[in-house]
Amino acid sequence: MDTFKDAFCADELPNVVASPYYSIFNGEFTKHYLAKPHYIFYPTAYSPGKVDLSKEIAKKYPEEKDINWYDALNNEEERFVGEAYTTQFTIPVKFELDYHNSDDEVPTFEFEEEVMDFIEQQEGLYLEIKKLNIPLEKFRWTWNLKNSKLTIKGKTTGLVVLKPLIKQYGELEHIQPDTNNKRLYAMN
């Protein structure tokens, strides 16, 4: 903590800026550029398929007219300057509930829906999921009971379609990231 304190304390406070865009380093065409992200999620190992995912993301981002969602979901890299592409990641969650010294009855589950109902009824667990801003049904839920310890695990796969920011006029090239540009770097 002292190291953090030293790093963030000074006679003159540092100016901290962030961008709502993804920073991409060592791209095919530019060493550093920014891309606008568009997210969708599905329960890990239960992908509904690219067609359904492209419909879902199109519905989620109706204002984005320049992206062919199906093509972007099938493209894992920027093949030409400004082309939208997709990358994926997983988000795991884990809840360990010990009922050893509890007056509460240990819940039993047969279906994932019962696990989701249980999480919704537990204020602390539900708040943790709400912080992620991902619906419960977008996770694949598993559970295990060992002695008096209930372990609930969830896993979701996130797809992010990245649309590189390119100059509107002139040569087809990425906009240079500039922390002084309030359109590119501003805290909302």
Q: What are φ and ψ of residue 58, in 5° steps?
A: -65, -40
Residues 98, 105: Cα–Cα separation, whole Å: 11
Read off the pLDDT of residues 116-163 as tens digits, 9 standing for 90 and up: 999 999 999 999 999 999 999 999 999 999 988 999 999 999 999 999
Tell whether 56 is covered by a domain.
Answer: no
Tell whether 101 is covered by a domain.
Answer: yes
> Can you give the CATH number for the domain in which 126 is found?
3.30.1070
Tell whether 175 is covered by a domain.
Answer: no
Range of the domain at 122: 90-157
Number of structural domains (the chain) is 1
Tell whether 100 is covered by a domain.
Answer: yes
Is 144 strand, coil or helix?
strand
State the Cα torsion 176-177-178-181 to the nearest 10°. 100
Tell whether 186 is covered by a domain.
Answer: no
Read off the pLDDT of residues 108-119 as tens digits, 9 standing for 90 and up: 999 999 999 999
Tell whether 22 is covered by a domain.
Answer: no
Tell whether 138 is covered by a domain.
Answer: yes
Tell whether 55 is covered by a domain.
Answer: no
pTM beyond 0.85, yes or no: no
